[in-house]
Amino acid sequence: MTTNEPSRTQWLGRWGFVMAATGSAVGLGNIWKFPYMTGEYGGGAFVLVYLACILSVGVPVMMSEIAFGRRGRGSPVDAFRRLVTESGRSPLWSVLGWMAMLCGFMILCFYVVVAGWSFSYLWKMLSGSLAGSSVDDMAAIFGANNANPWNLGGWSTLVTVLTMVIVGKGVQGGIERSTSWMMPGMVVMLVIMIIYGMFSGGFADALTFLFAFNASELSSEGMLAAMGHAFFTLSLASGAILTYGSYLPKHASIGRTTLTVAVADTLVALMAGLAIFPAIFANGMQPDSGPGLIFMSLPLAFQAMPFGQLFGILFFIMLAMAALTSSISMVEATVSWLTDNAGISRRGASWSTGIVLWVISTLAMLSFNIGSDWTLLGMHFFDWLDYLTSRLMMPLGGLGMVLLAGFVLNKHVMRDELGLSPRVYALWLFMVRYVSPLGILVIFINALGVASV
Ligand code: PHE
Ligand code: NA
């Protein structure tokens, strides 16, 4: 049981929450994962399903999670336990909290590896070592960067340490301050690259690829991937947004903050697509080249543009920052749970979490070198962490959350906490009761059906 109920820390204001939640949402998911998944699942059709999922599932779930966090005043485990107790429902529902907390931690275990790529490419940009490389060289450089476990592990260790240092400093000093200048910087960088892309010769192809809807490209696997990515990109069902919501002052509007975060996240993803795909098509690369996509394509664009090295450096600084403001949000649930329940300091909680994180993320990092043949059903440990969280835990956790919000908790709980106008509340209720659960179930069952044929 916690003793800090009356004095739980709070953001300095609504803006602090918006910044931190946007910092959590906008990350490698937008700039690294969204483009390469769009490439893998065929473009426009994937983008359309993704956008539909953001609207019909992502936004209602985010509103619910912020309300759960603020009402439950704690990490997902504590918040769900309080909420179901308050409504006199089965404590079994707090399984949702455990799953969310685990999910955030599992994501972090592979996220630090990708964040490590961003830092190592920043270093390559600074040292100028990518200059003059051809398309084939870029693939070889990406491969070589992965092949050496000391190199790759060094970078992911750096990310782990930085994450734990920021989290250890606490909500206002660490998290709020570091996010408030990162977002605008990222947007400026993307705009510059889009403008360059317009003149690079690949822009028309990029537009067609991203926005031309071709129903035959719409595999049920791709639909599940798009839905999972909607959860991932908005930091949902992983404890991050819920725990950040627990620091939200009572008077802040949940509806407006959710919309701000969702719109910002979606814009950054689409802008990243518009910045990256021109470089891919202009250089004759394949859009489906997988997780290395941005690291192989963007340096080519920087090479060709005026002041390319400078822009490249700025871009990878922004990418690294975007990664850090997300990674800190993934451990916040665990750290907050430990400080509230285990009687240890925030700093102690972040370092102990960091040690476990380091061990597991090192195993994920080894997927790219000495562990390259440790596979199960054809997937590495790194892939499994991604697959289990995005395709399974987040959609199912999200389903549980909308059912809890829509049917299980006493009706006045969510209504009071959300504080929406009657009409908007009715819309939210309709979404969490029918649209989101049915959407999740249909996509899920559809994908299972295909998998078993
Ligand atoms: N939303 C982050 C991104 O798009 C990833 C994330 C997932 C952050 C889950 C927190 C929790 O990069
Ligand atoms: Na995101």
Lowest mean pLDDT among 92-106, 212-226, 253-267: 212-226
CA of residue 36 to ligand 1 center, whole Å: 16
What pLDDT score does 451 carry?
53
pLDDT at residue 448, as a whole number: 85
pLDDT surpassing 70 at residue 49: yes
* Cα dihedral: 340, 346, 352, 356 (round 10): 80
**Per residue in 218-235, pLDDT tens?**
899 999 999 999 999 999
pLDDT at 24 over 80: yes
The pair phi, psi for residue 133, each rounded to 5°, is: -80, 145
Arithmetic mean of pLDDT, 145-174:
89
Contact 302, 126 (CB under 8 A): no
Q: Give the SS3 label for residue 85.
A: helix
Pocket test for ligand 1, best of 22, 75, 267, 329 (most atoms within 8 A of CB): 329
- What is the per-residue pLDDT across 233-264, written as a single tens digit (0 to 9) for each? 999 999 999 999 998 988 889 999 999 999 99
The structure tokens 């092949």 sit at 147
The answer, yes or no, to whether any atom of ligand 1 lies below 6 A from the CB of 258, is: no
Q: Ligand 2 centroid vs 344 CA: distance in angstroms? A: 31
C-beta of 28 in contact with ligand 1 (< 6 A): yes
Cα 254 from Cα 376, distance rounded (Å): 42
Query: Cα–Cα distances in Å, from 215 out to 30, 41, 45, 250, 260?
Result: 23, 12, 6, 45, 30
The CB-based long-range contact list for 280-284 (8 Å cut-off, 24+ gap) reads 280/39, 280/202, 280/206, 281/201, 281/202, 281/205, 281/206, 281/209, 282/197, 282/200, 282/201, 282/202, 283/135, 283/202, 284/135
Map out the domains of the chain with their CATH numbers: 5-355+385-452 (1.20.1740.10)
Please tell me the distance from the alpha carbon of residue 15 to that of residue 122, in angstroms, as a whole number.
30
**Exposed / middle / buried, residue 199 (Cβ in 10 Å: 0-12, 13-18, 19+):** exposed
Residue 104 near ligand 1, beta carbon < 6 Å:
yes
CA of 100, nearest ligand number: 1
Distance of CA 132 to the CA centre of its chain: 33
If you average pLDDT over residues 81-88, what whole number do you get? 96
How confident is the model over 396-438, as pLDDT tens digits?
Answer: 999 999 999 999 999 999 999 999 999 999 999 999 999 999 9
Residue 87: pLDDT above 90? yes
* pLDDT band, residue 352 (cuts 50/70/90): very high
Give the pLDDT confidence score for residue 14 in this predicted structure.
67
**Contact, 23 vs 326, CB < 8 A?**
yes
Residue 3 has pLDDT above 50, yes or no: no
Amino acid sitting at position 153? G
Count of CB atoms situated within 10 Å of the CB of 228:
27
218: tokens are 């719409």
What per-residue confidence (pLDDT) applies to 20?
A: 86
Instruction: Indicate whether residue 235 lines ligand 1 (CB < 6 A).
Output: yes
**pLDDT given for residue 200 in this prediction:** 85
pLDDT at position 368 over 60: yes
- How large is the average pLDDT for residues 316-322? 91
> Does residue 240 have its Cβ closer than 6 Å to ligand 1?
yes
Does any ligand 1 atom lie closer than 6 A to the CB of residue 118? no
CB atoms under 10 Å from CB of 144, counted, come to 10
Asked if residue 274 has pLDDT above 80, the reply is yes
Is 70 exceeded by the pLDDT of residue 171?
A: no
* ipTM above threshold 0.90: yes
The two tokens of residue 352 are 């102990």
Using the mean position of ligand 1's atoms as its centre, give its distance from the Cα of residue 182 in Å: 15
Q: How far is the CA of 27 from the centre of ligand 2 (A)?
A: 5
